[in-house]
Structure 1
Amino acid sequence: MNDLYSAYGLDYTDPDCDFLNINLDEDTPLFVDAYAMYRSSNTHMQSGHEILRNFMTATLLGLKKYLEDPTIINNLWISKCFSEPKGTGIGLAKNGHKGRGSHDVKCQQIITALRHSKAVETGELEDLEELLLVIEGIGSDTISDITLNIAKKSFIEYTQEKCSKLNITVKPTEEKIRYFCKIDNKWKSGHFDLPHLEVGKDKTLSYLIFIPNEVLEKNMAYGCNYFYTNIATPVYVDQVLRAGLSFIYSLKDGSKRVNKREMRKKDEYKGGKKKMDSFISKNPKSLKEYRKTVADKRYKRNQDNKKQNNDDSE
């Protein structure tokens, strides 16, 4: 494999080599998990998650004032600021690397979806990763791109620190790189000193941005199906039992159970992002419960799996 570590003669057993070994020919199907950034002890990742929260706070404020002044949120969700992140080597691009803009984030669609979200209206959403639960069209690849674009400066600073420690040559980027400034709460751009290598099938010289392995996932901690199964379904089961509906059955000991397969055929108990959006608005504690239980469990499992894979490779 034509990869980053080989190009720079890096040793994967070096504790400082805790970032993705970028495949220089094509993207690796991994995604940046904002919740993993929140759990990280790395100062750059902590700073990055703080930027994400600042952005979401500004977004929610913009939504409240949308009818009065739509420019507030439009100046946050600017399409050109959410182009496919370049130089990270992650995502679902086929036959090469991301950064060509073929799957740029559709900002106006997101704004429209947020404006009609019941969970947003009731003030329950707080974190960027929660958009995965309620906004149609936002999956792992899209939320990863959004996360990288907003917190890009934190990833750049992480990269610069690693290059300094590992004696990797850097040079100023020819193009300006956009990032969200947590101080001024607005988009800015600038040139940055970053490593450069040829990437993709066409061997185009590109700057590189390193991503810590600990925040990269195949399956993120947040997901609509996980929320539905672990948080919404127990509530629905309780409602069905109290209502005494037809798909309840009894065990030999007399205890009652619910046929979940039959229950889920009923429209009011079905899953999906629109349904979960409504559920969250009616169950205000459900997001915090998911974060403390399901997201925590999934995060720990993901980290354990990565540790196991590292142990197996040694």
Structure 2
Amino acid sequence: MRVSEFFKLGKGQPFLDFVDVRLDTDIAVFVDPTGLKSLNSKWGQECKSMVQHYFEAVLDQIKSGNDQRAQELVSSLRERNEFHLGFSSGKSQGHGFGSKSAESVWGALSKSAAAKSGLLKDLEDTCLLIEGIGRDMVSDAVCNIIRGPLITYTQEMCRYYGIPLNPGVASGPIWDPSAQIWESAFVELPVTSYGPVILVPKIIVRHRLSYEYGEYYTHYLLPEMQSAEKAANTSLVYLLRDGRKRVTKKDLKAKYGSDKLAVIKQTLKHPHVLDEYREEKSERAPPPLDHEQLAEVAGADVPDWDGLAERLRRLPTGNQAADEYEKLIEEILSALFYPSLCNPTKQHEIHEGRKRVDITYMNEAKAGFFAWVSQHYPAAFIFVECKNYGSELGNPEIDQLGGRFSPSRGRVGILVCRSLDKPKVLDARCHDTAKDDRGFIIYLTDDDVLQLIQQAKSGVTSMDFPLLVRKFRGLLD
């Protein structure tokens, strides 16, 4: 049973911001520290900072010879099962640096030349350089380190989707980066018959971690070792018929080994290789899983584009259906614009509650239209207003959305309505708003939304959204 089924949400994975995990076992996806670092949002930066500060604290204790303190920090990453991510085939077990593995993990870290020399800098480095640590352990460790922000996210999503929160639930260890200590508290969390659940945003999970020991050794470190052998003209070098020197990777592995200890020794000789690997991974962080990939790994559904289109066509206009219209538009836009836009908030209060926005999305786009917009204009958030009118939209509706804009929140919004008899009039009003430096408003009618749905249905996975590009350019003319 999934979270959506247990709490009877009436919607599946494509329309949920979090991973709709099975409660009785794990889903084989992982939180990648590299992907986490690529987030632009305040929440993402907080998570990145917490992971970095935690690992620096552990390494500082190891370098200072304070073994007991280092072991305490590591052992607080308990093996817990609230996240339901990883390799467990039966009941969720967790694979963190918990009580069973704390001694071995701490021992490997404290004795490692990589940790003492400064070669080890990031948590994901342990996948490459520390024996016994794999992607499941790193992913679970990350989840535990950012437990505090994930609990806050869980509470926000529960309020958004109508999931009941139970008070007085033990939080588990929460990392305080300022005090560099683990704390605990009683918090509000959703509780199922399988226990408490901490939700994880689907935008931060991946099939695998970006850092992979085999990839690093085979495709980055061994080529550098080949060059070094050739330059020194060692016994591993032999000449081809055309006079070129050759050193095989097989011979290098036979001479130097292929375990993580060998990788550490060779990386210490060629530290720039690890720097280049880190830089490349940073520049080419793996993208979030799309709808099809999530459906495949989690056994979930893909968006029913035909069903969404039919629901929109059949929905009547007018105030009586206004709430239903807003909910439907949120489902459609959440599915269409993922992973560019995420973490939606309904009736988001601004100006100390004096104004509300129908739907506010966090803009985490790395490519396509929304990424381009954020590079040129304030667009940390994208605001959406839904008008289930059977009449024309006028200046009050434009001013209502424009009043939500600010340099810090963003100055880009989408006004969604049913149909227009005089679209050129609304074009002119949106253009005037942009020309007067009051923000950028794109309007979408039913026909526009259906066009976006048809594009998605046809298998176009580009995040360029040519319809939005055309409408935005019209504001700049």
Same fold flag (TM > 0.5): yes
From 238, 250, 253, give the equivalent of 1:248. 238
Q: Is the 8 A contact 1:230 1:294 kept in 2?
A: no
**Structure 2 counterpart of 1:9:** 10
Q: Is the 8 A contact 1:222 1:295 kept in 2?
A: no
Alpha-carbon distance, 1:247 to partner: 4.7
Q: Which runs of 5+ in 1 are unaligned?
A: 200-205
After TM superposition, the structure 1 = structure 2 runs for residues 1-314 of structure 1, keeping only pairs within 5 Å, are: 2-7=1-6, 8-14=9-15, 17-66=16-65, 69-77=66-74, 79=75, 81-98=76-93, 104-199=99-194, 206-244=195-233, 245-250=235-240, 252=242, 254-266=243-255, 268=256, 270-294=257-281, 296-297=283-284, 299-300=285-286, 303=288, 306=290, 309=293, 313-314=302-303
State the one-letter code of the partner of 1:250.
Answer: L
**3-state SS of the aligned residue for 1:174?**
strand
Q: Is the 8 A contact 1:221 1:295 kept in 2?
A: no
Change (3 A) 1:61 1:246: closer
Partner Cα separation in structure 1 for residue 72 and residue 14 of structure 2:
44
State the one-letter code of the partner of 1:248.
Answer: Y
Q: Which has the higher contact order (CA 8 A, sep 6+)?
A: 1
Partner Cα separation in structure 2 for residue 106 and residue 188 of structure 1:
21
Alpha-carbon distance, 1:104 to partner: 4.6
Alpha-carbon distance, 1:308 to partner: 5.7
**3-state SS of the aligned residue for 2:173?**
strand
Change (3 A) 1:105 1:287: farther
TM-score (norm 2): 0.57
**3-state SS of the aligned residue for 2:290?**
helix
**Structure 1 counterpart of 2:326:** none
Count, aligned residues: 295
Cα deviation code 1:120-165 (max 9, x no counterpart): 2221222111111111111112222222222211111121121222
Q: Is the 8 A contact 1:247 1:262 kept in 2?
A: no
**3-state SS of the aligned residue for 1:96?**
coil
Partner Cα separation in structure 1 for residue 39 and residue 95 of structure 2:
30
Partner Cα separation in structure 2 for residue 22 and residue 173 of structure 1:
23
Change (3 A) 1:144 1:105: farther
Partner Cα separation in structure 2 for residue 155 and residue 144 of structure 1:
14
Cα deviation code 1:183-241 (max 9, x no counterpart): 21100001111112223xxxxxx111111223222321112111101221111110122
Q: Is the 8 A contact 1:31 1:144 kept in 2?
A: yes
Over alpha carbons, which structure has the higher Rg? 2
Q: Is the 8 A contact 1:85 1:148 kept in 2?
A: no
Partner Cα separation in structure 1 for residue 202 and residue 263 of structure 2:
30
State the one-letter code of the partner of 2:275.
Answer: K
Alpha-carbon distance, 1:116 to partner: 1.7
Alpha-carbon distance, 1:177 to partner: 1.7
Partner Cα separation in structure 1 for residue 143 and residue 78 of structure 2:
10
Partner Cα separation in structure 2 for residue 105 and residue 51 of structure 1:
24
Partner Cα separation in structure 1 for residue 107 and residue 97 of structure 2:
21
**3-state SS of the aligned residue for 2:44?**
helix
Cα deviation code 1:87-112 (max 9, x no counterpart): 21112223222369997552222222
Change (3 A) 1:281 1:104: same
Partner Cα separation in structure 2 for residue 170 and residue 282 of structure 1:
53
